Chains A and B, each alone.
Chain A
């Protein structure tokens, strides 16, 4: 069974540019989560999809971040325009609907904003 995959693995962009991160969850997992780790701090929750619906987006830092999960399969996280403080590692995780707390994480996307 394939795990959670994320693309790209690393992105370097300039301040003000746009970046789109992609996450492909484990097949059959209704739950999809985005987290990020900034500046070596703790890993923080961003948002949670159940299928294509946003269940909880309380962790989204501001309206420069837009997450979508059209069709309830893969998800994208767009940052527009990117700021320096957005640099960090963005993790995606997925879980089965009956065991939502058992979340399987992808390798992360390291975003560097210069």
Chain B
């Protein structure tokens, strides 16, 4: 079953603005992670939030998790042109034997 659907699919903002991306999933999870992929490059791990956590911060990143709604959000504050990339959430299901389930991602464009 598909899960980890991101919303919006694409987001265009100006430098200095905040960017919020949302992710929904369908099954019970152990953890939820956010990854970034710059054009033509690999996936970079950004932040992990466990199922018993509700909010986590890392630098300009803020992640929230609502397990009752099976959703998560990633907030990037004071965005920079270098934040331009695709962002993916990935979940590892309770019965998923450690594999990650990704969504289709959000393409973020930050203009100078």
**A interface with B by C-beta (< 8 Å):** 4, 31, 33, 35, 40-45, 48, 55-56, 59, 91, 93, 95, 100-108, 110
**B interface with A by C-beta (< 8 Å):** 2, 4, 30-31, 33, 35, 40-45, 48, 88, 90, 92, 97-105
Residues in B with CB closer than 8 Å to A93 are 43, 100
Q: List 10 A-B contacts (CB under 8 A).
A: A31-B98, A41-B104, A42-B4, A42-B104, A44-B102, A48-B98, A56-B99, A93-B43, A101-B100, A103-B45
Counting residue pairs across A and B whose Cβ atoms lie within 8 Å, the total is 63
A69 to B97, CA, bound (A): 19
Chain B, Cβ-Cβ closest to A108: B42
A88 to B48, CA, bound (A): 26
Q: Is the CB of B42 within 8 A of A105?
A: yes
Residues in A with CB closer than 8 Å to B88 are 42-43
Q: Is the CB of A104 within 8 A of B97?
A: no
